[in-house]
Structure 1
Amino acid sequence: MASPQFSKEQLALLTPDQYKEHQRKAWLLSTGNGGECTITCEGLVVKAHGKIICERSAFFRAALTHGFMESKTGKVHLQEVITHHFLHWILVYIYLSIPDIGYHLEVFGPQTDADFFGFMFELHRQADYLKVRDLTEAIITELKKRLDNCACLMFNKYHSPSAERISKGYEGPMKAVLHAYDHSNVYYEAYEPLRAELFRWVERCYPVLQGLGDTFESHLLEAPALAVAILKTTQNFKNSKFIHPGPEASCMFCGDPVQEICEDESDIGQPMFGLVADQSGGVKYFCDRSSCLRQIRVDRKAVDKSL
């Protein structure tokens, strides 16, 4: 295992006893020596130390100390929700992080933005399942910091029009945003804490994102749920290629092309059509013909719940 990468600030806070304890836990993790608990997951078998894992994980604490079968056998079998790869990294965090001095994600070694944005979704989801609160909070904190840095790069494009700088500030976060709003992912709801922070980045950078033109618009087409969320927040229907129905868009009731119903494209911003989001986050249009408007139904329960 690589040597710990403590910062100068962390070293200043690290006591000799904490350093010795850190070295001891690193040895216990690598050898499993004295581990009285057995954790199995996808063929991975780990000898763990109950005192250490129960202190940092409410999941293990409940399983091993609250009278469940695991508390009698000392064996915990994880399946489906947890993968062996991320179990390994979560155990690394449990054993080696030192929250008291702010030593958190450094246990995983240096990570580029691309590494972090791709790594964080599953790490956060599985750490949340195992109820390792320090780790989930550390991921959110790191996400905020990286998004702040990316936002600064985005806004600085006006002072430094380098395509490379714009790309650094946009591509990593936008890829993460699209993943966070991908309804096809079975764990979509588990990403909500991360999605909230990513959407704040979208809100913050929206004036710049609009200026990217087709690049940003094409991403909105990939993530209808994101486009709808933006509309709900900004109420900005103007100059949006995503909202302006193209030639293929038709009324969800009568089936006529929306653009043919309007007199010309300049009228698209007028109340000649409406749009709704379906349960999967897709957008459907309807025209303002009375025969179509009469078919619109309001889910009263949903309205009452929102009030």
Structure 2
Amino acid sequence: MAVTLVLGWGLGSACQSEAQETESAGQQPSRGTLIVVVSPGGEPEFEERFRDWAESWHKAGEQGELQTHLIGVGDSNTNDLDVLKETLAAAQSEENLPLWLVLLGHGTFDGRDTKFILRGPDLTIPQLTDMLASQQRPLAIIGAHSASGELIKELAGPNRVIVTATKSPSEVNFSHFGGFLVKALSTPTSDLDKDHQVSLLEGFLVASRMTQEFYEADGRLATEHALIDDNGDGTPVRAEDFRGIQPIDPEIADGARAHQWHVVPSDSERQLPAEVVQKRDALEIKLAELRRQKGSLGEEEYYRALEVILVDLARLMQGVPTLPANVP
């Protein structure tokens, strides 16, 4: 596990030393990359809050053996837009490992353009689109900031999971969702299906509930409504569309892929080779798609297709190669 802090809040020297010690100790390679980009707080209250949230993401990434980068903290004499561009470009080398991109802080919307606030030039959605255009890695984008809802419309695509704190760019008030999300991802009680790990889907569902409860306890109407899209169609859903971890409406295609993303995986998950995880995840997506089609298939056709997927899953997890599609 390697940790890189780009201009860290006094965490820099300690974490860089830790990274060097980790590399020299010969620990296993990272499971992926976590890039956390932090807005300037503007006020001491927000600076402290963003620092705490960023430290929580760093800790989670460390526990999950992710190569972690923090951008937007420490020395203010930087152009964070350039740093983000360079960090994303460097991240293209690991094509098969998951890439987490967390935008944490303040967003703005002037009625036409949405921006994520940075030190130096701010980040626009077209700029982020260009930065990610050639990115082939599985990608989770978390817009943990106000006015983030437009990210889904513009960035949705195959093999991408996108979570936003708001349902539209017009929700411009300070967003609390980002703090609740990292808390949920790091809390064992967020493990809704009891598989000893908290998925991004579970974190989204729990954080959405925590956000709503925060506003209710404060006697205010919620000014942020989180969304998720993980099937690439650009049509997001809310936490209210789920019962447990399953969509209430069988026509909803979101949720299955986000449930395969874990910042901190279980011990058993860590032991699986990357190629096995990729094949298993693909089969699980096929299984979710088949279950959505159940109502339009004949009973015999459905159970025949179900058996093929379940047998392939069983063979894979037992280390037995799956049968070719033309083998009965």
TM-score, with structure 1 as normaliser: 0.28
Structure whose CA Rg is larger: 1
> Going by fraction, where is strand more abundant, 1 or 2?
2
Please give the TM-score of this superposition, normalised by the length of structure 2. 0.27
